[in-house]
Amino acid sequence: MITPPDRTPLPREFFDRPVLEVAPDLLGRLLVRTTPDGPIVLRITEVEAYDGQNDPGSHAYRGRTARNGVMFGPPGHVYVYFTYGMWFCMNLVCGPEGWASAVLLRAGEVTEGAELARKRRLSARNDKELAKGPARLATALGVDRALDGTDACDAGETPLRVLTGTPVASDQVGSGPRTGVAGEGGVHPWRFWVADDPTVSPYRAHVPRRRSS
């Protein structure tokens, strides 16, 4: 008999730990996005860790800005950023307040509310592609900058919450370099994923942008 996933919300203490502990421990957890049309539930299958001021790949490496301010706040909040002029990406803030570490949610399996996600991801060829990549994940869940700063640990009504789910055993967790991160930050094996899961996005090394002449 298959044990159903635990739907107990994760407490703030879960996120108030070093980012390299939190990131792999998020695999198999459930992210619930509440919308006016109904909930969408995502099983997290791929993440990347970003270690604040210690990490050249982090948005917080050079200090606090208007864009990254949420990262410096309490753990358990949602940091959403806009990239390439067209996409949103979603992170969960962790570690002690002021340190600005966060976990980027890179991919997941939509386990409930797929019909709602499909309406936002019309180009997906199948349900495994609905949230296969960080921008696709945010699009499928309807996450944008309006949700930046959301407290995912709020005991009341919140549009985003993380549930206990079914944690992934350590021998089923893969790790490797982060996708598309340049320079020194690109060598850290801080991307974590559920081994052999079809929703995990493909790895791509950083490719320098060419300047137009």
* Cα angle: 161, vertex 167, 170; to 5 degrees: 140
CB-based contact 114:131 (threshold 8 Å): no
User: Rounded to 10 degrees, what is the CA torsion of 186, 54, 27, 133?
Assistant: -40
Q: What is the CATH number of domain 6-194?
A: 3.10.300.10
pLDDT value at residue 85: 80
pTM: 0.93
pLDDT in tens, 147-166: 999 999 998 889 999 999 99
pLDDT in tens, 8-38: 999 999 999 999 999 999 999 999 999 999 9
With 70 as the cut, is the pLDDT of residue 212 above it? no
Q: Write the CA distances from 98 to 18, 63, 78, 95, integer angstroms.
A: 13, 10, 15, 8
